[in-house]
């Protein structure tokens, strides 16, 4: 009597394409050109931002001039994918005037909402964090830094799409500080099963039709 060794379930499990997740550096932060300062409020102060291997390090100055009440704000834009995880750290390095009380924003163009805002009233804390926020949409995102109470409005109409409405000229604020900003992005990518497993699965295919004789007792 011939018996067929049924290996189909095992083979199917071995050769069915599968993936696993591994963290990689986000392409959106692989060069300085992807992290650009797009607004500096009163444009008095210049900020720099350099990016490499998924991490952008920026520095800037927020200054509400005591004579005019102007409150500066600064924004960086960068492109990311859905599923990317973003961590943003704001470190106030120097308090220049009466106060150093920051607002830290992460904004998106999809829907235009400030879906994550951090307001820390203690300027002497070393780090102000937006920690491990996973993005649901691909697109251009903005990290904003401003003085206390200086909030943005997103405009989306037939003419323009812009972040506007900052209270730069309408605040009696005394915020003035220098800061370092770190933007870290972790991307999860799909990686195919190693080729060796495919070869193993192919080899087992040859056994599907194998049969052997068994003596009858």
Distances (CA, A) of 142 to 21, 103, 111, 204, 205: 26, 14, 13, 52, 52
Rounded Cα distance, 1 and 210, in Å? 13
| DSSP annotation of 83 | T
**For position 32, what pLDDT does the model report?**
33
Number of residues that this document lists for the chain: 217
Rounded Cα distance, 212 and 214, in Å? 6
**For position 76, what pLDDT does the model report?**
74
Rounded Cα distance, 123 and 117, in Å? 16
Tell me which residue of 135, 138, 184 sits closest to 25, measured CA to CA. 184
- Domains parsed from the chain with CATH numbers: 21-213 (2.60.120.380)
Per-residue model confidence as pLDDT tens for the chain (217 residues): 444 434 344 344 444 433 333 333 334 444 333 344 444 444 333 445 666 667 777 777 777 665 454 456 777 777 788 888 888 888 888 877 666 677 787 777 655 555 556 555 555 555 567 778 888 888 778 777 777 767 666 555 554 455 555 665 555 556 777 888 888 888 776 545 454 444 455 555 554 554 454 555 5
**For position 79, what pLDDT does the model report?**
77
3-state secondary structure of 13: helix
pLDDT single digits (tens) 4-60: 434 344 344 444 433 333 333 334 444 333 344 444 444 333 445 666 667 777 777
Distances (CA, A) of 116 to 28, 56, 57, 86: 20, 19, 20, 11
**Within 10 Å of residue 136's Cβ, how many Cβ atoms?**
12
Rounded Cα distance, 92 and 182, in Å? 12
In order, the DSSP letters of 101-166 are -EEEEEEESSS----EEEE---TTSS-EEEEEEEPSS-EEEEEEEEETT---EEEESSS-EEEE--
**For position 146, what pLDDT does the model report?**
77
Please state whether the predicted TM-score (pTM) of the whole model is above 0.85.
no
């Amino acid at each position: 009597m011939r018996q067929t060794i049924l290996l189909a379930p095992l083979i199917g499990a071995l050769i069915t394409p599968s993936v696993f997740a591994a963290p990689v550096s986000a392409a959106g932060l692989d060069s300085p050109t992807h992290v650009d300062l797009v607004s500096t409020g009163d444009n008095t102060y210049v900020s720099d931002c350099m990016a490499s291997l998924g991490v952008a390090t920026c520095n800037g100055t927020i200054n509400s001039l005591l004579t005019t009440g102007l409150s500066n704000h600064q924004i960086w834009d960068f492109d990311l994918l859905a599923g990317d995880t973003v961590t943003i750290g704001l470190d106030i390095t120097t308090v220049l005037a009466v106060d150093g009380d920051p607002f830290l924003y992460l904004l998106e163009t999809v829907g235009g909402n400030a879906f994550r805002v951090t307001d820390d009233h203690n300027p002497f804390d070393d780090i102000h964090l937006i920690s491990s926020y996973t993005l649901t949409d691909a697109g251009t995102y903005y990290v904003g830094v401003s003085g206390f109470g200086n909030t943005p409005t997103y405009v989306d109409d037939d003419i323009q799409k812009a972040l506007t409405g900052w209270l730069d000229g309408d605040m009696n604020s005394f915020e003035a500080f220098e800061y370092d900003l770190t933007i870290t992005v972790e991307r999860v990518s799909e990686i195919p099963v190693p080729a060796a497993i495919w070869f193993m699965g192919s080899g087992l295919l040859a056994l599907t039709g194998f049969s052997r004789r068994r003596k009858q007792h």
